Structure 1
């Protein structure tokens, strides 16, 4: 017999949501991803087979529905938003392990940066930003920025790079989480920017930051200092 064999609502919820990757798939859908490949870009370590299995399970449970060649959350799925937020908030406050090397992944970080934008702050004209991480696998990454969106690409597309960003992966991840603010990153050299001063100053204001970033730290579009 499968399942916990308990009437408890928590046990029943975990029968649907407790398997590995399931809530992370829900997280990706809550963050606006709709297509299989985009969901997987937010979860690069999940296999295509496993992602397909998890989506089918969520669909069968009435949490996910297919729509227009992609996926969307049903009302039941949308109502998991506070659950995901509270779970993430708990980890931010109580997970004693903290951020460890195995949690650092440049692909995941840049993908999240790409989708957490402040639309009205983006430049209207196409602006290419090259992002490299020191001593980390992956990249370089190219952000093709033009209001109202940012596209993440593997090359500059033949356009001139307007701003180059070089960063320490752990430091930029901690900034994204809200543990540290922008100005100290620049002062320490953990992040360096090369390009026109207007772009160097504007760059951190383009992003709203990690969804569950530490409330006590300065938000990514504040305290950006002089660059």
Structure 2
């Protein structure tokens, strides 16, 4: 564990924890690493409001504190960092119950939403329902966002494209940004969204009825549903 840096100046474990974790963005970096982000560019892309300079500063801080460690392939959580999982997702449960409501316009970022979604896709159903192959392509089209997005899963490795990759599309998801956010975060059930006409899918027979198996929701969706 890194050497303690004085903050609130109180000899208390909560105070010490806040010295390490209390700065803006720090817990969001930990959140993204808990759900699989390891490379600098991936962490940066998942936190578009955070400058790369400040991200580098925060990562050095977490490394000195013994919460993350750096390797040739990126960053990983230490035992200390992994022990933050119940704290981070406990905050999700508290937030879902007490402060989480209708989205604000400035919180709706279509590209960020697709970035979050891309690592949560399970394309095994697409492989079984559609043409077999090593590549699956999901096209995400927003009614209120001119930019289009493609999620390409090539040999199990997902990536996001904002230009047509030129591959045959296996599944198209159509929605507006707000509605798909609410679906992704568990505020709006998939079946309800489809019944209201704010979510539609085009793809192999049977996939629309089992979309939740392909589009696995946010890791915090359970907390939102149970709030």
User: Could you say whether these structures have the same fold, taking a TM-score greater than 0.5 normalized by the shorter chain as the test?
Assistant: yes
Correspondence for 2:196 among 157, 173, 188: 188
Instruction: Determine helix, strand or coil for the equivalent of 1:197.
Output: coil
Q: How far 1:2 moved relative to its partner?
A: 5.0
Output one character per residue of 1:186-205: Cα deviation in whole Å (capped at 9) or x when no partner: 12221122344344445432
| Contact 1:144 1:152 (8 Å CA) reproduced | yes
Residue matched to 1:129: 138
Correspondence for 1:75 among 79, 85, 105: 79
Instruction: Determine helix, strand or coil for the equivalent of 1:3.
Output: coil
Q: Is it true that 1:140 corresponds to 2:144 in the alignment? A: no
What residue ranges of structure 2 are gaps of 5+ in the alignment? none
Output one character per residue of 1:91-110: Cα deviation in whole Å (capped at 9) or x when no partner: 00111654322222112211
- Mapped to 2, the partners of 1:202 and 1:192 lie a distance apart of 12
Q: How far 1:5 moved relative to its partner?
A: 0.7
- Mapped to 2, the partners of 1:134 and 1:52 lie a distance apart of 36
Q: TM-score, normalized by length of structure 2?
A: 0.85
Change (3 A) 1:56 1:211: same
Q: Size of the alignment, in residue pairs? A: 217
Residue matched to 1:103: 107
Matches within 5 A, 1:1-227: 3-95=7-99, 98-118=102-122, 120-121=124-125, 123=127, 125=133, 126-136=135-145, 139-146=147-154, 148-214=156-222, 217=225
Q: TM-score, normalized by length of structure 1?
A: 0.85
- Mapped to 1, the partners of 2:99 and 2:159 lie a distance apart of 33
What residue ranges of structure 1 are gaps of 5+ in the alignment? 219-227
- Mapped to 1, the partners of 2:202 and 2:57 lie a distance apart of 44
Instruction: Determine helix, strand or coil for the equivalent of 2:151.
Output: strand
Root-mean-square deviation (CA, aligned residues, Å) is 2.3
Instruction: Determine helix, strand or coil for the equivalent of 1:45.
Output: coil
- Mapped to 2, the partners of 1:35 and 1:215 lie a distance apart of 27
| Contact 2:126 2:204 (8 Å CA) reproduced | no
Q: How far 1:161 moved relative to its partner?
A: 2.5
Instruction: Determine helix, strand or coil for the equivalent of 1:130.
Output: strand
| Contact 2:126 2:207 (8 Å CA) reproduced | no
| Contact 2:120 2:215 (8 Å CA) reproduced | yes
- Mapped to 1, the partners of 2:164 and 2:41 lie a distance apart of 21
